């Protein structure tokens, strides 16, 4: 038995993406070259850009290809912060939520450590949601001092969806750009960049059936940013380097499939989620942390008196692949910052797992996971009591 329930980490490549990439790989050509092969590659690159833009409610000129979501987040935070600070040195406040992915948390902290940013972290409620009133209070208390706000569209661990349109409207009211890490949301939730009011938004292809190693930053034409990589001036002079044409083609094909099948996939994922929740309800000492109005198919659970790492490995030995709610640094388990920000105690946070259901999963998969859990929970609790890993 092998059951993959870690689709929030990375999804399988859809056939349409593989076909688009294979076709692109079969033909030579640098999209910056002027001859026929170069023009053909350039045409494919721009057609892919147009398709992606159409799927997310953006203009093609706003889509900047990157090496993935992490690079897109770094380009947004560092690039916009530096441009805003250069325009007005008073703009040194950088506001993010407490539940951001490390691709936002870490560059934000880096700017605080190395470029004199004043980092402000907005709290969240027990569901992991930012209160727009907290953002309003921060912006009103420091007029003209905030360089950038960054709040993720949907949380990658517990699936909580943020009130992005409301937050973006607040930011615009105070003339502050709002960036959103939408890596977990694009392809799974309706995302309309133009309607959202965002200034910038990050996405990654491998989260919705595309290839790993390519993503995009959607950046408004009126939003100033400084590049991180200098060279030939590709991608609006913001991301130099020969573009990955095959990756862009695969990303565009996968996103089109994800958007076209979104309603059907979401309904199927949520039906399987409910099946898993029913099975979990029969297990003592389990607490569900994800809500029904979050990302489709995401089930985040805390298991009393368990170490998440032990439970994860025991499940893996049974052929069930999911993810832990805690990270491991230098061999020492540490509780997820997301769960702690939501008010969870460290023991519960360290005993958490995320099951994320994808389009290929079936009811048999869920039943297999439920059966495996009943076999391993007691062993995981014993391991937690004895200190065995």
**DSSP assignment of 276-339:** HHHHHHTSTTEEE-S-TTSSTTEEEEEETT--HHHHHHHHHHTTEE-EESEEEETTEEEE-HHH
Q: Is the pLDDT of residue 374 over 80?
A: yes
Which pLDDT score is estimated for 325? 57
Q: Are 188 and 159 in contact (CB under 8 A)?
A: no
Find the mean pLDDT for residues 8-33. Answer: 96
Say whether 67 sits in a helix, a strand or coil: coil
Q: 309 or 223: which carries more pLDDT confidence?
A: 223
Which pLDDT score is estimated for 324? 83
Say whether 352 sits in a helix, a strand or coil: strand
pTM for this prediction: 0.95
Kindly report the average pLDDT of the chain as a whole number. Answer: 94
What would the two tokens of residue 43 be? 């045409």
What would the two tokens of residue 31 be? 């999209």
pLDDT in tens, 278-288: 999 989 899 99
Find the mean pLDDT for residues 363-368. Answer: 97
Q: Is the pLDDT of residue 96 over 50?
A: yes
For the chain, which domains are there?
15-259 (3.40.640.10), 262-386 (3.90.1150.10)
**Lowest-pLDDT range, 55-64, 219-228, 302-311?**
302-311
**Lowest-pLDDT range, 17-21, 66-70, 216-220, 347-351?**
347-351
Q: 154 or 308: which carries more pLDDT confidence?
A: 154
pLDDT in tens, 101-138: 999 999 999 999 999 999 999 999 999 999 999 999 99
Within a 13 Å sphere around the CA of 272, how many CA atoms are in the beta-carbon half?
A: 26
Which pLDDT score is estimated for 333? 62
Find the mean pLDDT for residues 65-79. Answer: 98
Which pLDDT score is estimated for 276? 97
Catalytic annotation, residues? 328
């Amino acid at each position: 038995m092998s059951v993959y329930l870690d689709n929030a980490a990375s999804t399988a490549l859809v056939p349409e993406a593989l076909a688009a990439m294979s076709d692109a790989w079969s033909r030579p050509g640098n999209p910056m070259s002027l001859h026929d092969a170069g023009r053909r590659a350039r045409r494919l690159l721009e057609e892919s850009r147009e398709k992606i833009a159409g799927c997310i409610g953006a203009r093609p000129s706003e889509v900047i290809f990157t090496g993935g979501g992490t690079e897109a987040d770094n380009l947004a935070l560092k690039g916009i912060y530096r441009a805003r600070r250069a325009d007005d040195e008073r703009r040194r406040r950088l506001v993010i939520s407490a539940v951001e992915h490390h691709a936002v948390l870490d560059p934000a902290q880096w700017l605080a450590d190395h470029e004199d940013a004043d980092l402000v972290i907005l709290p969240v409620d027990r569901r992991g949601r930012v209160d727009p009133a907290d953002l309003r209070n921060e912006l009103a208390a420091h007029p003209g001092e905030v360089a950038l706000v960054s709040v993720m569209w949907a949380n990658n661990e517990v699936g909580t969806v943020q009130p992005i349109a409301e937050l973006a409207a607040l930011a615009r009211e105070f003339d502050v750009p709002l960036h959103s890490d939408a890596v977990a949301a694009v392809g799974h939730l309706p995302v309309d960049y133009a309607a959202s009011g965002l200034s910038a938004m990050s996405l990654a292809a491998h989260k919705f059936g595309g290839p790993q190693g390519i993503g995009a930053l959607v950046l408004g034409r009126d939003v100033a940013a400084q590049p991180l990589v200098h060279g030939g001036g590709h991608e609006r002079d913001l991301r130099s380097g020969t573009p990955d044409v095959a990756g862009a083609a695969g990303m565009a094909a996968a996103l089109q499939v994800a958007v076209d099948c979104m309603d059907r996939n979401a309904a199927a994922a949520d039906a399987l989620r409910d099946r898993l929740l029913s099975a979990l309800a029969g297990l003592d000492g389990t607490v569900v942390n994800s809500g029904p109005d979050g990302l489709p198919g995401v089930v985040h659970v805390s298991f009393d008196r368990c170490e998440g790492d032990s439970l994860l490995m025991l499940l893996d030995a049974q052929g069930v692949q999911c993810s832990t709610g805690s990270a491991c640094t230098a061999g020492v388990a540490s509780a997820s910052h997301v769960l702690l920000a939501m008010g969870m105690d460290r023991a519960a946070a360290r005993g958490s797992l995320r099951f994320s259901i994808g389009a290929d999963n079936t009811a048999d998969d869920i039943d297999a996971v439920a059966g495996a859990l009943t076999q391993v929970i007691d062993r995981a609790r014993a391991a937690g009591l004895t200190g065995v890993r």
